[in-house]
Chains A and B, each alone.
Chain A
Amino acid sequence: MTLSTINDSAGRGTPCLEEDLHSIHSLARLLPAGQRRLQRWLQVRTFATEEPVYEEGEAAVALYFLVSGSLALLSGRRSGPGDRLKIVQPGGTCGCAALSTLAFYGESCQALEPSRLAVLPNSSFTDMQQRYPDIALALLQGILDETLDDWRAALTAYHGLTSHLTRANIIV
């Protein structure tokens, strides 16, 4: 997708296409038929560089899947510049607080470059839970897997750093 196409459609949602979902990690468990069924609940939105997607402390109303571009998850932005928690790469998911329909976002999310996101409003997720519970469960399982992958990556990096510092006799 070129930058001009992104700018043309910026600010409004567009229908989600089948190929938009191929790279989403948390949907990898869904069969193509499930993905096609999920597709109609989703819309694709484009965000410009540094445009906020959602802010920490707002009511969580939608779950976001990054199709292209990159996002930063930030913490403590309401009281200052904020700490960067994570950079979300294409295929990643953010805004999982929206799955509960009773929560606030725990972090802010901002586009680092022109980015396309597939958006699932939590009202649609609730409808989906009632009509297609199998798809909703597969989606939840996919998000859980992604969270576990994040946790494993963080743990591996932490252990790698600790052993490096130990080998270098910086910590004993």
Chain B
Amino acid sequence: MPRLQPLTAAHAGLLPTALVAAGIASASALVWLASPALFRSLLLTLWLLGLATALPPHSGRRPAAAAFITALLLLHYLLTALPVSIPAGAAPADLPAWPGPLMRQGRNFIEPFLGRLTAGLWPGRLELGIAILLAALISSLWPIIRRSLLRRASNRRFQSLAWSLAEIPRRTGAWIAAESLRALLLASLWGGGLFLLGFDLPAAAGFLMLLASPTPFWGPLGAAAAALSLAHSPQPALQAGGAIIVFAVAWLASHLLFGGRLHSARPQLPRLLILSAVFAGALAAGAGGFLAVLPLWTLALHITTGAKPPLRPAP
């Protein structure tokens, strides 16, 4: 049963994974430098293609696809105001003596960072339209493309190519779908909870949680810790207590609902290794590096593992 093994760090060598990750990072940087709009469109297309693997495969495809596109457009419409709302939240003047300075520092980090990020990555309506069109086109043409690629492979390469062409999209698609569902749940519960608790900029906190969710364990913890600086009431300790309860509920709900999916889709990496990787990412590229390093590494790991067909151990 080759496909039921959960992916671990031991499944792919460190060097091939690092090379693939470096390749993806360089290609992304080049595309970004060439045109940020093209980068946004491609990123969104790949994400949509990943999500498309979670759609039902046959009879209900058309209604499901229509519902999916409508939900995306609605989400985009609802969140269009987000980049505008981020700089609007100024730090209140009545911050306590402690941890007031820390909260001010947190706000000084979160607001400009999310402002820059959303300005750079938030797609326009045209880019969203292009991405939806491209994703629909690629996913419907994929069987023909795959057949054509397989036909061109030599006998020697046929087995491994057939495996890779089925396995890499399956692995990455399952991972993207599981992470997206979990991130949406965590972000909506977290943002909604902070809104009810009276935090400033709950949408920004939710968005930060959405971005940090694909980094196992440390990502949501880091996003939650950073969001505590957005507390607004005269008693931030009380608000922080409420936020900790909200976080625990969101964390538990996400694990109860998507734990199985995540376990089979995510590589099982040691937490210390993840912590080292995110610190290295943060040192190299700041907060963006902190958020991007694990998704990039996981994608590279899925590609390297999916490219290597398994072999049953000899009896």
Contact = CB atoms under 8 A, between A and B. Distances in A.
Q: A and B, one complex?
A: yes
A15 B3 CA distance: 30
Interface string A19-59: 00000000000000000000011010101000100101111
Interface in B196-227: none
A13 B312 contact: no
Nearest to B59: A130
A102 B1 contact: yes
A55 to B, nearest CB: 8
B311 A58 contact: yes
Given A45-B158, A122-B166, A59 B310 contact: yes
Contacts of A141: none
A153 to B, nearest CB: 28
B146 interface: yes
B1 A45 contact: no
B2 A12 contact: no
A16 B163 CA distance: 21
Interface stretch (B27-35, B149-157, B239-247): B149-157
B146 to A, nearest CB: 6
A152 interface: no
B155 A47 contact: yes
B57 interface: yes
Interface string B48-78: 0000000001100000000000000000000
Contacts of B15: none
B155 A10 contact: yes
Interface string B128-166: 000000000000000100110011111110110011011
Interface residues of A, number: 33
Nearest to B161: A61
B166 A57 contact: no
B314 interface: yes
B1 A57 contact: no
Nearest to B164: A61
B311 A61 contact: no
Q: Interface majority SS on A: helix, strand, loop or mixed?
A: mixed
A104 B150 contact: no
A171 B129 CA distance: 79
B150 A57 contact: no
Contact of A123 (B1, B165, B315): B165
Contacts of A56: 312
B81 interface: no
Nearest to B57: A130
A131 interface: yes
Interface in B261-313: 309-313
A99 interface: no
Contacts of A78: 314
A12 B310 CA distance: 23
A116 B156 CA distance: 15
B4 interface: yes
A78 B163 CA distance: 21
A103 interface: yes
A165 to B, nearest CB: 32
A52 B86 CA distance: 62
Interface in A56-70: 56-59, 61-62
A11 interface: yes
A41 to B, nearest CB: 7
B159 A58 contact: yes
A62 B166 CA distance: 12
B309 A58 contact: yes
Nearest to A105: B312
A124 B143 contact: yes
Contacts of A45: 155, 158
22 contacts: A10-B155, A12-B151, A12-B154, A40-B147, A43-B150, A45-B158, A57-B312, A58-B309, A59-B159, A59-B163, A62-B159, A78-B314, A79-B315, A101-B166, A102-B2, A102-B4, A103-B1, A119-B158, A123-B143, A123-B166, A130-B57, A131-B58
Interface of A: 10-15, 40-41, 43, 45, 47, 51, 54, 56-59, 61-62, 78-79, 101-104, 119, 121-124, 127, 130-131
Interface of B: 1-4, 57-58, 143, 146-147, 150-156, 158-159, 162-163, 165-166, 309-315
